[in-house]
């Protein structure tokens, strides 16, 4: 049974994430200590105790999610003998989850991944002034229809408006991103086209749109200064939905990813077409696990984030 290991993105964070792992496993504590040291911040305390509003800030949520995912990886390595180079057909991550996937596969050190994600979160937040951008979930719609709807909304919103599909999450779920007026126009249009639900998301910036270009430029500079090793296992990239192992190409794709659509549905379908039947989500939440069967009919998904789920993972080996 071929497996892919997948890593969650922003929105999966919650106060208490990683706390039980840290209490149960020394290797998990080591990961959290390494991230705290890299960031010169007790991020682990914020993760374990809150406050939620501070954890949700993009600059905190991104490295926190990576830290939790890598703590799970280290625990599985120690407790089950997990070796991604032998046990995984692919790794993939949703948006910031690509950094988690790459760190898990040995392309980045955990410290470098933490520092890059802190910078990424800060740069994405600064790219657009508060209140000028927005994102909306459109439910019950396929990607092609979403693209057409976003283009119509951008046109109707007028000069300077931006509206594009940021995430193709699969299962009839796409996310629009852009200037606030254009995204609100997309919601209005969606209601006339039979979209099941269209709602503004509680996010602080219009991620994965051209409005993030200043953040892409900041990441290009930062990534140029960081060593990227060939990953032990191919990453299925958000931007292309195809596998990549070359460090130069990975660097290029991570820059492009800031403004490009997260092609998650296509990524999952690609992995399934290569024979993957089990998708293991490593880290906080169960968002990606929930999408598995909605995208790939005969596949299974499991999530590992707490000690009991480590034991459940052992049981399927």
Residue 95 is among the residues annotated as catalytic for this protein = yes
> Do 150 and 283 belong together in one domain?
no
Average pLDDT over residues 239-259: 98
Tokens of residue 123, six digits: 């740069």
C-alpha distance from residue 95 to each of 35, 102, 121 (Å): 19, 12, 12
pLDDT tens for 122-149 read: 999 999 998 899 999 999 999 999 999 9
> Do 180 and 227 belong together in one domain?
no
3-state SS assignment for residue 210 = helix
C-alpha to C-alpha distance for 74 and 66, rounded to whole angstroms: 12
C-alpha to C-alpha distance for 201 and 221, rounded to whole angstroms: 30
Average pLDDT over residues 178-207: 92
269 neighbors 295 (Cβ within 8 angstroms): yes
**What number of other Cβ atoms are within 10 A of residue 273's Cβ?**
9
**Catalytic residue chosen out of the listed positions 208, 209, 234, 267:** 208
Q: Which domain-ending residue is among 172, 187, 203?
A: 203
Cβ contacts of residue 308 below 8 Å, gap of 6+? none
> Do 28 and 120 belong together in one domain?
yes
Write the DSSP symbol of residue 262.
Answer: B
What's the gap between Cα 156 and its chain centre? 31
Average pLDDT over residues 226-233: 97
> Do 177 and 223 belong together in one domain?
no
Q: Which domain-ending residue is among 184, 203, 222?
A: 203
Q: What is the CATH number of the domain that holds 39?
A: 3.40.366.10
The secondary element (H helix, E strand) that includes residue 275 is none
Write the DSSP symbol of residue 51.
Answer: -
> Do 159 and 229 belong together in one domain?
no
H helix intervals, the chain:
19-24, 26-39, 43-49, 52-56, 58-80, 84-87, 97-104, 110-127, 143-157, 180-192, 213-224, 247-257, 264-273, 287-295, 307-316
How confident is the model at residue 9, as a pLDDT?
95
> Do 165 and 299 belong together in one domain?
no
Determine the structural domain holding residue 144 and report its residue range.
Answer: 133-203
Q: What is the CATH number of the domain that holds 166?
A: 3.30.70.250
Task: Compute, in degrees rounded to 10, the torsion defined by CA atoms 280, 282, 287, 290.
Answer: 20
Average pLDDT over residues 41-46: 98
C-alpha to C-alpha distance for 251 and 100, rounded to whole angstroms: 14
**Catalytic residue chosen out of the listed positions 12, 44, 69, 95:** 95
3-state SS assignment for residue 90 = strand
3-state SS assignment for residue 42 = coil
Number of domains in the chain: 2
Match 């209140």 to its residue by tokens. Answer: 131
> Do 104 and 140 belong together in one domain?
no
The secondary element (H helix, E strand) that includes residue 193 is none
Average pLDDT of the chain is 96
Write the DSSP symbol of residue 242.
Answer: S
The pLDDT confidence band at residue 85, using thresholds 50, 70 and 90, is very high
Q: Which domain-ending residue is among 172, 203, 234?
A: 203
> Do 199 and 242 belong together in one domain?
no
The pLDDT confidence band at residue 315, using thresholds 50, 70 and 90, is confident
How confident is the model at residue 193, as a pLDDT?
84
> Do 220 and 297 belong together in one domain?
yes
C-alpha to C-alpha distance for 87 and 111, rounded to whole angstroms: 24
| pLDDT above 80: residue 163 | yes
> Do 176 and 263 belong together in one domain?
no
> Do 106 and 217 belong together in one domain?
yes
> Do 139 and 240 belong together in one domain?
no
Query: The pTM is what?
Result: 0.96
Q: What is the percentage of the chain residues whose pLDDT exceeds 70?
A: 100
């Amino acid at each position: 049974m071929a497996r892919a290991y997948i890593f969650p993105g922003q929105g999966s964070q919650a106060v208490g994430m990683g706390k039980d792992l840290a209490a149960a496993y020394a290797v998990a504590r080591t990961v959290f200590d390494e991230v705290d040291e890299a960031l010169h911040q007790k991020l682990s305390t914020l993760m374990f105790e809150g406050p939620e509003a501070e954890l949700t800030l993009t600059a905190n949520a991104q490295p926190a999610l990576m830290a939790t995912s890598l703590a799970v990886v280290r625990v599985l390595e120690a407790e089950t003998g997990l070796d991604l180079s032998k046990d995984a057909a692919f790794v993939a991550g949703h948006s910031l989850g690509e950094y988690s996937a790459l760190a898990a596969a040995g392309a980045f050190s955990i410290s470098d991944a933490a520092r890059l994600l802190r910078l990424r979160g800060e740069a994405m937040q600064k790219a657009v002034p508060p209140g000028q951008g927005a994102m909306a979930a459109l439910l019950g719609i396929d990607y092609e229809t979403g693209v057409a709807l976003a283009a119509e909304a951008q046109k109707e919103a007028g000069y300077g408006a931006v509206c594009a599909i940021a995430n193709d999450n699969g299962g009839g779920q796409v996310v629009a991103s852009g200037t606030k007026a254009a995204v609100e126009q997309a919601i209005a249009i969606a209601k006339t086209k039979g979209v099941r639900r269209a709602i503004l998301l509680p996010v602080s910036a219009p991620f994965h749109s051209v409005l993030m270009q200043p953040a892409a430029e900041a990441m290009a500079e930062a990534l140029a200064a960081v060593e990227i090793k060939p990953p032990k296992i191919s990453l299925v990239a958000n931007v292309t939905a195809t596998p990549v192992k070359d460090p130069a190409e990975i660097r290029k794709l991570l820059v492009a990813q800031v403004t490009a659509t997260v092609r998650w549905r296509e990524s999952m379908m690609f992995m399934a077409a290569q024979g993957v039947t089990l998708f293991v989500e490593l880290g906080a939440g169960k968002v990606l696990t929930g999408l598995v069967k909605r995208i790939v009919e005969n596949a299974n998904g499991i999530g590992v984030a707490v000690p009991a789920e480590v034991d459940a993972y052992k049981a399927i080996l």
